[in-house]
């Protein structure tokens, strides 16, 4: 007998439907899986066989052939265990499979028959709704994630027996419903706060400007000056996620397995801080079946690279294109995959290998050649893509021992949100792939239109370009940062003081390092 079950598989950030055909025919009793399965899918035959017997069903008495269509696409992972088991029961007449094709089914089986959580349930649920399925059967840990999809009934099944009883109509399962307001609740609550940071007013102001305009920022200073402390608090002043941003981010985290069990959506801005030993595939994504990397996991959030020169140079260089375009493309012989990666880069580094260059109290032990090699690890093109460079100096005892708290993150966030609202209104006409959400991603024509300088501001910028030997890209960055500073001040025109502050944030241009 032939039975059909529908499931889904993920490729990139989207899913496609998998039709699972299970045929019970003559021959030695065993399960054969075809349709380009990987090792995990091939092993599903043994898991399904044992789960059937431990769930009270009879072992197959015929040769079972399982075909995963389309047969020309590689199938990976254990998420086909549950649909294969249900198809096998229907093919062996141990279950009425009349309504089996009405549902999308996904889940890994334990040997006991228990259904375990899998990755990528959200995009699979979206595909099931697009295909017109009546509902989706998922592991209980994935139910809230799938329930985000409106118009699709989500049924959590704890074990194989419960799934079979539900398909036959012998046992009802209440569909899971998620209240999106509740799911988003508390998304802006953080344990960290900028009120905990002592001193460093200049760096705090630079971070506020960077967040207000979505600019990338580099913090340079000796060890122990609070660079990491400042960076880890950046998400506390970012605007709250919109529903659209939350769904985009959740899809990526679901595919990579980073979404916690029973969590419906990612309700806070991501903060990713990979170690400097990470590979280019780990940072950008990759693999035989391409998976998202750290830059995509930081989508709509913050990517923090501490000790920037310690990262392998090839790893930093491959990040140039994602920083510019907001997407990362991974090409393979069979197909290419594109992952979104619109993130804010926050990087930190020492001024020299020993970390004490420019420190008035500690002597730098580095030779000029050592310093040059250290600084050359960061290429000029990459540095040009970082809008703001700010020095974080060592603090005095009086600052560290002060009991006075700094400004709270909530107050800074209010100014940031007000600035972002101005930018959202300014770029509201741009939609789709041409969408512009903040000053940092303005195109050249937008810079000419919205970054008009007053006469004294033009004179100041002309002098700065000549004295500091700034590149054309640096000129463009200064205009964008000055536009953000003016937005924070609530003014339409860019004045000289806005340009002067923006120029201060370009202290580590290539000409300075030479």
- 355: Cβ–Cβ under 8 A, 6 or more apart, which residues? 222, 223
Rounded to whole angstroms, how far apart are CA atoms 144 and 154? 8
Residue 265 lies in a domain: yes
Q: Is the pLDDT of residue 7 over 60?
A: yes
Tell me, yes or no, whether 211 and 359 share the same domain.
yes
Residue from 160, 189, 213 nearest 502 by CA = 213
Tell me, yes or no, whether 120 and 20 share the same domain.
yes
Q: CA angle, 122 as apex, 139 and 182 as ends, to 5°? A: 90
Tell me, yes or no, whether 285 and 300 share the same domain.
yes
Are 106 and 152 in contact by the 8 Å Cβ rule? The answer is no
Residues 166-171: what's their mean pLDDT?
Answer: 93
Tell me, yes or no, whether 483 and 405 share the same domain.
no
- 151: Cβ–Cβ under 8 A, 6 or more apart, which residues? 129
Residue 339 lies in a domain: yes
Tell me the per-residue pLDDT of 439-488, one tens digit each, with 9 for 90 and over: 998 888 889 999 999 999 999 999 988 888 877 878 889 999 999 999 99
Residue 185 lies in a domain: no
Tell me, yes or no, whether 141 and 239 share the same domain.
no
Residue scoring higher pLDDT (409 or 399): 409
Are 510 and 471 in contact by the 8 Å Cβ rule? The answer is yes
Residue 183 lies in a domain: no
The three-state secondary structure class of 415 is: helix
Domain boundary among 144, 178, 212: 178
Tell me the per-residue pLDDT of 195-235, one tens digit each, with 9 for 90 and over: 888 888 899 999 999 999 999 999 998 888 889 999 999 99
Cis peptide before 70 (omega within 30 of 0): yes
The three-state secondary structure class of 322 is: helix
Rounded to whole angstroms, how far apart are CA atoms 14 and 9? 9
pLDDT at 511: 41
Tell me, yes or no, whether 422 and 467 share the same domain.
no
Tell me, yes or no, whether 278 and 419 share the same domain.
yes
Tell me the per-residue pLDDT of 70-87, one tens digit each, with 9 for 90 and over: 988 888 889 999 999 999
Tell me, yes or no, whether 388 and 488 share the same domain.
no
Are 73 and 7 in contact by the 8 Å Cβ rule? The answer is no
- For residue 393, what is the DSSP state? P
Domain boundary among 437, 460, 488: 437
Residue 500 lies in a domain: yes
Tell me, yes or no, whether 300 and 358 share the same domain.
yes
Q: How many domains does the chain have?
A: 3
**Which own/partner contact pairs does 197-201 have at CB distance under 8 Å and 24+ positions apart?**
197/226, 197/229, 197/230, 197/233, 197/406, 198/226, 198/395, 198/399, 198/400, 198/402, 198/406, 199/226, 199/395, 199/399, 199/400, 199/402, 200/225, 200/226, 200/230, 200/392, 200/395
* Integer-rounded Cα radius of gyration of the chain: 28
Residue from 233, 339, 257, 254 nearest 296 by CA = 339
Which CATH number characterizes residue 484's domain? 1.10.8
pTM for this prediction: 0.90
Tell me the residue range of the domain where 483 lies: 442-514
Which CATH number characterizes residue 137's domain? 3.30.230.10
Tell me, yes or no, whether 426 and 487 share the same domain.
no
Q: CA angle, 447 as apex, 441 and 450 as ends, to 5°? A: 110
Residue 187 lies in a domain: no
Rounded to whole angstroms, how far apart are CA atoms 287 and 290? 5
341-378: string of b/e by CB count within 10 Å (b at 16+)?
bbbbbbbbbbbbbbbbbebeeeebebeeeebeebbeeb
Tell me, yes or no, whether 392 and 326 share the same domain.
yes
Domain boundary among 126, 148, 178: 178
Which CATH number characterizes residue 340's domain? 3.40.50.300
pLDDT at 400: 59
Tell me the per-residue pLDDT of 91-122, one tens digit each, with 9 for 90 and over: 999 999 889 999 999 999 999 999 999 999 99
Tell me, yes or no, whether 379 and 471 share the same domain.
no
pLDDT at 51: 95
């Amino acid at each position: 007998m032939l039975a059909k079950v529908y499931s889904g598989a993920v490729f990139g950030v989207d899913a496609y439907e998998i039709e699972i055909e299970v045929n019970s025919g003559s021959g030695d009793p065993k399960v054969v899986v075809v349709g380009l399965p990987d090792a995990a899918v091939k092993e599903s035959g043994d898991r399904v066989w044992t789960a059937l017997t431990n769930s009270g069903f009879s072992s197959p008495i015929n040769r079972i052939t399982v075909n995963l269509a389309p047969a020309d696409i590689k199938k990976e992972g254990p998420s086909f265990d549950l649909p294969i088991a249900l198809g096998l029961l229907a093919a062996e007449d141990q279950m009425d499979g009349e309504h089996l094709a009405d549902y999308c089914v996904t889940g890994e089986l334990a040997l006991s028959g228990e259904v375990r959580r899998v990755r990528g349930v959200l995009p699979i649920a979206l595909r099931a709704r697009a295909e017109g399925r009546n509902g989706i059967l998922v592991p209980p840990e994935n139910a809230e994630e799938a329930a985000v999809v409106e118009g699709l009934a989500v049924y959590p099944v704890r074990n194989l027996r419960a799934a079979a009883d539900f398909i036959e109509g012998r046992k009802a399962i209440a569909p899971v419903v998620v209240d999106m307001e509740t799911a988003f609740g508390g998304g802006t609550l953080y344990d960290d706060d900028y009120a905990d940071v002592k001193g460093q007013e200049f760096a705090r102001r630079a971070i506020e400007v960077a967040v207000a305009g979505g600019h990338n920022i580099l913090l340079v200073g000796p060890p122990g000056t609070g660079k990491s402390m400042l960076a880890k608090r950046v998400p506390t002043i970012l605007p709250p996620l919109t529903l659209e941003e939350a769904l985009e981010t959740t899809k990526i985290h679901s595919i990579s397995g980073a979404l916690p069990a029973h969590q419906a959506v990612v309700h806070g801005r991501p903060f990713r801080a990979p170690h400097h030993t990470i590979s280019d595939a780990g940072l950008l994504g990759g693999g035989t079946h391409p998976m998202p990397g750290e830059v995509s996991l930081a989508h709509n959030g913050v990517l923090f690279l501490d000790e920037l020169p310690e990262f392998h140079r090839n790893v930093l260089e491959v990040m140039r294109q994602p920083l510019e375009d907001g997407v990362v493309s991974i090409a393979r012989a069979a197909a290419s995959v594109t992952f979104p990666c619109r993130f804010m880069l926050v990087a930190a580094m020492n001024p020299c290998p020993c970390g004490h260059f420019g420190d008035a109290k500690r002597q730098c032990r580095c030779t000029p050649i050592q310093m040059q090699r250290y600084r050359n690890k960061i290429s000029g093109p990459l540095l040009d893509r970082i809008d703001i460079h700010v020095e974080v100096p060592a603090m005095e005892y009086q600052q560290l021992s002060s009991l006075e708290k700094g400004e709270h993150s909530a107050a800074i966030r209010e100014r940031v949100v007000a600035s972002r609202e101005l930018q959202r209104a300014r770029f509201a006409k741009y939609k789709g792939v041409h969408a512009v959400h903040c000053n940092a991603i303005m195109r050249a024509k937008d810079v000419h239109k919205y970054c008009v300088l007053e006469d004294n501001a033009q004179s100041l910028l002309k002098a700065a370009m000549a004295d500091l030997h700034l590149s054309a890209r640096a000129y463009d960055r200064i205009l964008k940062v000055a536009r953000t500073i003016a937005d924070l001040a609530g003014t339409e025109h860019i004045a000289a003081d806005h340009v002067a502050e923006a120029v201060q944030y370009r202290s580590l241009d290539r000409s300075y390092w030479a």
